[in-house]
Amino acid sequence: MLRSCLAAFASMSLLLTGCSSGEPAGDKVTLVVAWWGNPARTKATNAAIDLFTKKFPKIEVKVRPSAFPGYYDKLNTEFASGAAPDVFQDDQVRTYAAKGLLLDLGAHQDVLKTDALGKEFLAQGTIDGKLMDVPAGASPMALVHQPKLLEGAGVSAPTARTSWQDFAALATKLAGGLPKGTWALADSSAQHNHLQVFLRQKGKDWFTADGTALGFAKEDLAEWWTFWAGLRAKGVVPPADVTSGSAGGDVSQDPVAAKKVAMSVYGTSISLPREDWKYGPLPGEAERPGSHLMRSVSWAINAKTKHPRESAQLVNFLLNDPEAGRALGLTRGVPPNSAIATSLAAGLDPQDQQIAEYVAYLREPGNSGPAPAPDPTGGKEIRSDLLTRHTQDVWFGKATVEQATEAFFQEAAKVLERAS
């Protein structure tokens, strides 16, 4: 799949746009860059930034890597005190754009080139026609499975044509043939990105296009929670106490990372154990794909940076320079620059090769849906905090599906009203 595209993209590699805008005039300038991520991401990003400073010796870059917990609290404090970084990793574009904190990147197209990134990626960072951040990588949702476990149980892997009902039946059959302490499927009921695919297959989404209301009905959320509750009751997915360890974002506690499940919906920028995992589309994707070329994270520039041009040069280098692409690899998902993604293919290990091929599959017409509009202010609170809390109420018997659904919708409406 991706290999078949090598010839088509070969000529594009000659057009990759590095930071060829020249060095800044005058004295040396200093940029501060912040991001969150694991040690592998930090090591790769530092290597790419070292390449940048060698190419632009008049630009010094100070780095502020961190873990995800507390990242936004610290960033918000820095913005409030006037000490925010020049360039920062972001996944809340509308929230920061609404506060006037983001530089309009479209005003710096002479330095920051976006031609090779693809409109489906750029749309996710465009607010009122202005490009407010750019994708650092792709992390579309995939269904992952361990072929050996499925084969041992006499079960065929699901495909895009497998309905959700047939998927449940397949997982139930699989559960009966697995080793003790292993479940057929990870519980996706608290995973907002997984729910989004399900909603988009219905022609809906998390929010309306204008961001003023939820984009789905109570019946949709109740159907989602009921689906997973049925599998949990049968022992097809792990019990709540096993699943809850990763519900707050601790990837190390995810049943997939802990090798406790045979299948799961999973983001492609999240590292799996280096075993024989296969990637493919989710159930129900054939008729109306719910997956999209979702960004993993993005790069944004502080609207009040003293060095907008140099900041744009750095972001351009990280996105479009071939050497930077090799240094970064897939640490933020598959590069959004299609030519760089293709150029990396030959050097990837078998698992990363699969991820790149899956993203290439989604790039093909008809295999993914259009990009949704950026989430409204308050979207993260609704998608992550409210969904997790009310899902856990269902898990642990504190509320019925109907009660949790009603409470979720009431609280979500208040968040959106407060943010408007």
Averaged pLDDT, 339-356: 89
Do 190 and 55 share a domain, yes or no? Answer: no
Domain boundary among 327, 357, 387: 357
Q: Which domain holds residue 402?
A: 141-291+378-419
The rounded distance, in Å, linking the Cα atoms of 409 and 11 is 51
The rounded distance, in Å, linking the Cα atoms of 299 and 134 is 5
Percent of the chain at pLDDT > 70 equals 91
Averaged pLDDT, 276-297: 93
Averaged pLDDT, 190-196: 95
Percent of the chain at pLDDT > 90 equals 78
Do 160 and 278 share a domain, yes or no? Answer: yes
The rounded distance, in Å, linking the Cα atoms of 358 and 340 is 16
Residue 26: predicted pLDDT: 62
Reported as a single tens digit per residue, the pLDDT across 323-340 is 999 999 999 999 999 999
Reported as a single tens digit per residue, the pLDDT across 113-159 is 999 998 889 999 999 999 999 999 999 999 999 999 999 999 999 99
Reported as a single tens digit per residue, the pLDDT across 18-56 is 433 444 556 899 999 999 999 999 999 999 999 999 999
Residue 246: predicted pLDDT: 60
Q: Is residue 370 part of a domain?
A: no
Do 172 and 240 share a domain, yes or no? Answer: yes
Task: Give 11's pLDDT tier (boundaries 50, 70, 90).
Answer: very low
Q: pLDDT averaged over the chain?
A: 90
Do 71 and 128 share a domain, yes or no? Answer: yes
Q: Is residue 365 part of a domain?
A: no
Do 205 and 321 share a domain, yes or no? Answer: no
Q: Is residue 325 part of a domain?
A: yes
Domain boundary among 308, 326, 357: 357
Do 195 and 97 share a domain, yes or no? Answer: no
Q: Is residue 167 part of a domain?
A: yes
Q: Is residue 362 part of a domain?
A: no
Reported as a single tens digit per residue, the pLDDT across 352-410 is 888 899 999 999 999 999 999 899 999 989 998 999 999 999 999 999 999 999 999 99
Residue 108: predicted pLDDT: 96
Q: Is residue 98 part of a domain?
A: yes
Q: Is residue 121 part of a domain?
A: yes
Q: Is the pTM of this model over 0.95?
A: no
Residue 214 belongs to domain with CATH number: 3.40.190.10
Do 37 and 116 share a domain, yes or no? Answer: yes
Report the domain count for the chain. 2
Residue 13: predicted pLDDT: 38
Residue 257: predicted pLDDT: 74
Residue 27: predicted pLDDT: 81
Domain boundary among 308, 323, 357: 357
Q: Is residue 80 part of a domain?
A: yes
Do 199 and 329 share a domain, yes or no? Answer: no
Window from 89-98, 249-258, 296-305, 311-320 with minimum mean pLDDT: 249-258
CB count in 10 Å sphere of residue 87: 24
Averaged pLDDT, 282-310: 96
Q: For strand 29-36 and strand 87-90, is the pairing parallel, antiparallel, or unpaired? A: parallel
Do 216 and 132 share a domain, yes or no? Answer: no
Do 244 and 392 share a domain, yes or no? Answer: yes
Residue 19: predicted pLDDT: 39
Averaged pLDDT, 76-103: 96
Q: How many Cα atoms occupy the beta-carbon half-sphere of 65 within 13 Å?
A: 12
Reported as a single tens digit per residue, the pLDDT across 217-261 is 999 999 999 999 999 999 999 999 888 876 555 566 677 777 789
The rounded distance, in Å, linking the Cα atoms of 376 and 130 is 15
> Token match 């996944």: residue?
91
pLDDT of residue 4 exceeding 50: no
Which of residues 39 and 346 earns the better pLDDT score? 39
The rounded distance, in Å, linking the Cα atoms of 165 and 291 is 18
Do 313 and 283 share a domain, yes or no? Answer: no
Averaged pLDDT, 312-332: 97
Do 186 and 114 share a domain, yes or no? Answer: no
